[in-house]
Structure 1
């Protein structure tokens, strides 16, 4: 089976590109195409990478978990350790009673 001259040139081009990629010298056309598609903007001070969860989402989750921990801890402390009604922690009279202990004259 004879090889077509055009096909032979394509094979040589592919092998040349592969060798250049292995050596680290990628042709200019390939570098520009890869830069646009895969690589983020270059910043000399920081190594930029795209985050799975943005910082604002992390802050919202942190605040929500802190609120849940605060409410759960108050319910456990007042109801579980204090041997009282767990749901009484949400009544304003309970908090007024707690604040009276904290106030000093």
Structure 2
């Protein structure tokens, strides 16, 4: 019984290094704590999340306007800048609502 120790009526097996389970568990917890500390402080975002969201919204808006200009000016037969005029959109909405024949 050289690799086992009798303790309070139960048998605890030792590792070849001479540590018990509770000692190994404490060591693992210490290592985990240390790794969490270094991991939390090691990563710094260059662009914060809130700024990323704003950038995405702006890019979506720009691509929407670009698609609108391309669709109205190239695919349609109108001038591209006419797509930005309110009169154009009032006319389009009137056509949808059936007010223009």
Bin of the TM-score, shorter chain as denominator length: 0.5 to 0.7
SS in 1 for 2:40: coil
Aligned match of 2:68 = 74
> Structure 1 length normalisation: TM-score?
0.52
Matches within 5 A, 1:24-103: 38-40=38-40, 49-103=43-97
Higher strand share: 2
Deviation at 1:101, TM superposition (A): 2.1
Q: How many residues align?
A: 68
Residue by residue over 1:4-56, the C-alpha shift from the partner in whole angstroms, topping out at 9 and shown as x without a partner, is xxxxxxxxxxxxxxxxxxxxx8xx9xxxxx987x4427xxxxxx953332110
Name stretches of at least 5 consecutive residues in structure 1 with no aligned partner.
Answer: 1-24, 29-33, 42-47
Name segments (4+ residues, structure 1) moved above 4 Å: none
Distance 1:50 1:83, change over 3 A: same
The alignment yields a C-alpha RMSD, in angstroms, of 2.9
Distance 1:100 1:63, change over 3 A: same
Name stretches of at least 5 consecutive residues in structure 2 with no aligned partner.
Answer: 1-26
How far apart are the structure 2 equivalents of 1:89 and 1:35? 54
How far apart are the structure 2 equivalents of 1:35 and 1:67? 40
Deviation at 1:60, TM superposition (A): 0.7
SS in 2 for 1:59: helix
How far apart are the structure 1 equivalents of 2:96 and 2:77? 21
